[in-house]
């Protein structure tokens, strides 16, 4: 085994974690806002352990968060939302970060586990922010820690990391 391989893998993993434009930097105030869900149809069981399915041009908003999907399943456990499963060709998510930049994501399926704060994007996913992009077939992203894993399933992953912004030129400054 190449002795440099673990160091290279650690560097790539660190860069990917720094790049990952996810909810770990999402506007903290969004979680305290009401969630609004609009759809063409819903089928809900309003119990402590129920499920609501929304179908047809589903739009979910909560603060700066905006989601569009063909379907959304909201699963409750003990009166609290446990999972949200979004699907479509493609489901889209947009959210403002605490630094006022925007993150955009799309995938055929997004499965968010509220308790573990892990979102799994599958099917031609693409995540974009000012920091860069990441695209592939499957990404597991921990919004609490910022840890991200993608690929490893025989498919390719594409990551683009934008250069750090340079200071503005001083062309207008007097010397």
Output the tens digit of pLDDT for each of the chain's 175 residues: 444 333 333 323 333 333 343 434 467 777 788 889 999 999 998 788 999 999 999 999 988 889 999 999 999 999 888 999 999 989 999 988 878 888 899 999 999 988 888 889 999 999 988 888 899 999 998 877 777 888 878 889 988 888 877 544 444 444 4
In a domain, 154, yes or no: yes
In a domain, 175, yes or no: no
Range of the domain at 131: 5-161
In a domain, 174, yes or no: no
Question: What pTM did the predictor assign?
Answer: 0.74
DSSP the chain: --TTHHHHHHHHHHHHHHH--SGGGB-GGGGGSPPEEE-SEEEE--STT-EEEEEEEEEEEETTEEEEEEEEEEEEETTEEEEEEEEEEEEEEEEEBTTS-EEEEEEEEEEEETTTTEEEEEEEEEEEETTEEEEEEEEEEETTT--EEE--SSS--EEEEPPPPPPPP-TT---
In a domain, 74, yes or no: yes
In a domain, 173, yes or no: no
**Residue of 21, 50, 45, 33 whose CA lies nearest to 150:** 21
Residue whose entry in the numeric block shows the structure tokens 């089928």 = 43
Q: What total of structural domains would you count in the chain? A: 1
- Which CATH number fits the domain that encloses residue 41? 2.60.450.10
């Amino acid at each position: 085994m190449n002795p440099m391989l673990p160091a290279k893998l650690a560097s790539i993993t660190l860069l990917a974690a720094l790049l990952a434009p996810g909810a770990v930097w999402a506007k903290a105030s969004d979680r305290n806002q009401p969630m609004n869900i609009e759809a063409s149809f819903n089928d809900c069981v309003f119990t402590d352990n129920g499920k609501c399915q929304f179908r047809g041009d589903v739009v979910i908003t909560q603060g700066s968060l905006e989601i569009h999907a063909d379907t959304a399943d909201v699963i409750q456990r003990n009166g609290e939302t446990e999972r949200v499963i979004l699907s479509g060709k493609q489901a889209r998510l947009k959210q403002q970060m605490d630094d006022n930049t925007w993150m955009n994501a799309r995938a055929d399926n997004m499965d968010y586990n509220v308790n573990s704060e892990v979102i799994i994007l599958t099917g031609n996913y693409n995540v974009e922010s000012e920091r860069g992009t990441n695209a592939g077939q499957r990404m597991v992203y921990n919004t609490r820690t910022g840890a991200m894993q993608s690929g490893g399933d025989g498919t390719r992953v594409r990551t683009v990391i934008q250069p750090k912004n340079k200071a503005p030129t001083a062309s207008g400054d007097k010397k």
